[in-house]
Amino acid sequence: MRIQIDTNLSTPLFNQLMDQIKKAVMDGLLNPGDPLPSIRQLANDLELNHNTVAKAYRILERDSVIQTKGYRGTSIHADAKQNSTVNMNDSITTKLSETIKSLRESGATDSEIRIAFSNVMKNQ
Amino acid sequence: MNIDLLLYIVLFSQIMFLSYYYPRRMLIRIHTIFENYPPSEFPKLYPESIDKYKKAAKRYLVMNHLIIGLGLGLILWFYVTPRTGEWDQAIVFWYFMIQFLPNLGLELWTMKYHKSMRLLNQDAQKKAVLQPRRLTDFVSKELLGTAAVIFVIFVGFIVYVDQFDYPWFGGYLNVLIISGTYLFFGSIIYRAMYGKVKNPHQSYEDRKIDIQTLIRQLLFIAIAVTLYAILQISLKAFGLESFKAITISLYFHVIVFLAMQWSRLNSINFDVYKDKPALTK
């Protein structure tokens, strides 16, 4: 199974990587238990920074699309197929929209919401 | 047969094999690429002017010719000078080191060539195969096992010889040196398997073949080095030191023969070095 990253696209590289792994799982090209290359191997093959691949792997592991088992390396998670359909972007957008809606209803202006959001993000 | 005569024959063979035959085959390979894959059709193969590469090839040839002259002079010197034979092995060794210099130059030149390729590479598309590389994907378990068994035999041999308290015997230092060699080869293999891509245009299949060739070569060389170390210690133990210069020369033949296992040119995918066709509507 081959993947291709385009450094000219505006989509972040780690997102491209995650999307392609998820798509491969959905298409049945990668199945539960299939081994994945190490971060070092994949980063060097794609001529990417190791942190970029590590970030993609970390998020995929959080979403239970992949799993890391010590010296046995990284492989596709048993529930990868169903977890690949979950899109965190959609979930975050929905939750933020609900919060913004309720803040507007309580009288907050968009400018106040932006400043508050920015402050909260900085302080986290 | 007279040992001196045998040494002249083996040394002459070393000169011709390492400084004539090997460079000749290498240059035939390089010139075949120049002729069959010209810069006009395969621009990515030539990050710099082809004349620069032709000059480097010429330099390589001239250096080897000079080394052949030096080697023939060495045989003549061996013939006319009365010797005890004590330094023969060291002389053959250092002559091999000189023979190796043009190839070291070629290796450094190749590294520079790949660096130029990477610097000029404008391709935004980066490809990889989502599959981990394992040692056994490239070499058989039998070959790996053989290298391991030979190493164990070597350690056993050193333990055995160590009982005799030979004053010249380096003891476990031999194990340390051979272990160091195995570790060094291991680090080269690791870099080849998981390290950065040297040639950004090379197809995945060709890269796999290159890695496989390198691993096989290094494993065979590691086995040869270990067997040679056993042979050298045995010769000394049996008082056959006069054969040491001959055996080291034969050993160099084997090492170079093992290093000469290149992939066939017609099996390499040269299309990756062509310019991409312009996008059309």
Question: With contacts defined as CB-CB under 8 Å, which chain A residues touch B205?
Answer: none
pTM: 0.81
Calculate the average pLDDT of chain A: 90
What percentage of chain B has pLDDT greater than the value 90?
A: 69
The full set of domain ranges for chain A reads 13-84, 88-123
Of B124, B125, B128, the CB nearest to A45: B128
pLDDT of B88 reads 87
Q: How many Cβ pairs closer than 8 A exist between chain A and B?
A: 66
- Both structure tokens of B210: 């290159």
DSSP assignment of chain B, as one string? --HHHHHHHHHHHHHHIIIIIHHHHHHHHHHHHHHHS-TTT-GGG-SS-HHHHHHHHHHHHHHHHHHHHHHHHHHHHHHHS---STTHHHHHHHHHHHHHHHHHHHHHHHHHHHHHHHHH----EEEEESS---HHHHS-HHHHHHHHHHHHHHHHHHHHHHTT--TT--TTHHHHHHHHHHHHHHHHHHHHHHS--SSTT--HHHHHHHHHHHHHHHHHHHHHHHHHHHHHHHHHHTT-GGGHHHHHHHHHHHHHHHHT-PPPGGGS-GGGGSPPPPP--
Q: Give the pLDDT mean for B14-32.
A: 94
Calculate the average pLDDT of chain B: 90
Q: Give the pLDDT mean for A24-39.
A: 93
Q: Give the pLDDT mean for B196-218.
A: 91
Asked whether the beta carbons of A41 and B133 are under 8 A apart, the reply is yes
Q: Give the pLDDT mean for B88-108.
A: 93
A36 φ, ψ to 5°?
-115, 155
Indicate the pLDDT class of residue B277, thresholds 50, 70 and 90: low
Indicate the pLDDT class of residue B157, thresholds 50, 70 and 90: very high
Exposure class string for B201-225: b at 16+ Cβ within 10 A, else e: bbeeebbebbbebbbbbbbbbbbbb
pLDDT tops 90 at residue B266: no
- B208 has a chain A CB within 8 A of its CB: no
Nearest CA in chain A to B132: A37
A75: three-class secondary structure by DSSP: strand
Exposure class string for B112-125: b at 16+ Cβ within 10 A, else e: ebbeebeeebeeee
A107: three-class secondary structure by DSSP: coil
Indicate the pLDDT class of residue B276, thresholds 50, 70 and 90: low
For residue A79, the cross-strand partners are: none
Could you report the predicted ipTM of this complex, rounded to two decimals?
A: 0.78
Choose among A69, A54, A48, A62: nearest CA to A4.
Answer: A48
Give the architecture-level CATH label for domain A13-84: Orthogonal Bundle (1.10)
Indicate the pLDDT class of residue A82, thresholds 50, 70 and 90: confident
Q: Nearest-5° angle of CA B82, CA B84, CA B85?
A: 110
A88/chain B closest Cα distance in angstroms: 24
- Cβ distance A41 to B197 less than 8 Å, yes or no, reads no
- Cβ distance B128 to A46 less than 8 Å, yes or no, reads yes
Indicate the pLDDT class of residue A76, thresholds 50, 70 and 90: very high
pLDDT tops 50 at residue B195: yes
Question: With contacts defined as CB-CB under 8 Å, which chain B residues touch A4?
Answer: 125-127
pLDDT tops 80 at residue A12: yes
pLDDT of B280 reads 44
Q: In what order do the strands lie in the sheet with A66-68?
A: A35-36, A74-76, A66-68
